[in-house]
């Protein structure tokens, strides 16, 4: 089970209540910084800017071109030293559903490799040395030194 907190809503779908979940000004600031970082080729500058948003980014972390982190809750993301987030991967700390929205921390260990176009869902922990295959959707915790791939991501046999 993922480590998420649920916030029920009534009436409209939960995305209609996003301004109650996060300040619109904070969301705009986060969007501008994250969108800039998606295109920046300078890894140290990306890490610096992400830290300004409250992300916990370890030493020598590398975000590939177009990597996307959560705009509403970047402060819920922790990434260990020497990890790589591949081209166009997505790290989410929230999900809006019809009758509720959920938030959850994402913890990515040290020396983790996340492949291109992979998606990490809220409340997931990825252990040290894990490898996430390209295009995988990570819906549950990944143990250390495990390779997963597919939709949903499952361990390699």
Which one from 33, 83, 94, 136 is the annotated catalytic residue?
94
- Known catalytic membership, residue 94: yes
Residues in a beta bridge with 113: 84, 131
- Phi and psi at residue 102, to the nearest 5°: -130, 145
Q: In what order do the strands lie in the sheet with 106-108?
A: 56-57, 77-79, 106-108, 125-126
129: left (phi over 0), alpha (psi -120 to 50) or beta: left
Radius of gyration from C-alpha coordinates of the chain? 15
Just list the catalytic residues: 94
């Amino acid at each position: 089970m993922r480590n998420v907190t649920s916030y029920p809503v009534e009436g409209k779908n939960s995305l209609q209540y996003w301004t109650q979940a996060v300040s619109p000004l904070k969301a705009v600031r986060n969007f501008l910084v994250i969108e800039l970082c998606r295109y920046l080729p300078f890894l140290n500058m990306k890490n610096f800017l992400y830290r300004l948003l409250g992300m916990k980014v370890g030493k020598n972390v590398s975000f590939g071109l177009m990597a996307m982190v959560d705009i509403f809750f970047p402060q819920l993301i922790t990434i260990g030293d020497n990890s790589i987030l591949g081209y166009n991967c997505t790290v989410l700390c929230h999900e809006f559903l019809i009758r509720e929205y959920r938030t959850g921390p994402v913890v990515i260990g040290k020396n983790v490799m996340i492949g291109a176009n992979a998606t990490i869902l809220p409340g997931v922990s990825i252990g040290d040395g894990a490898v996430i295959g390209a295009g995988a959707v990570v819906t549950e915790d990944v143990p250390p030194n495990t390779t997963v791939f597919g939709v949903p991501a499952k361990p390699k046999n």
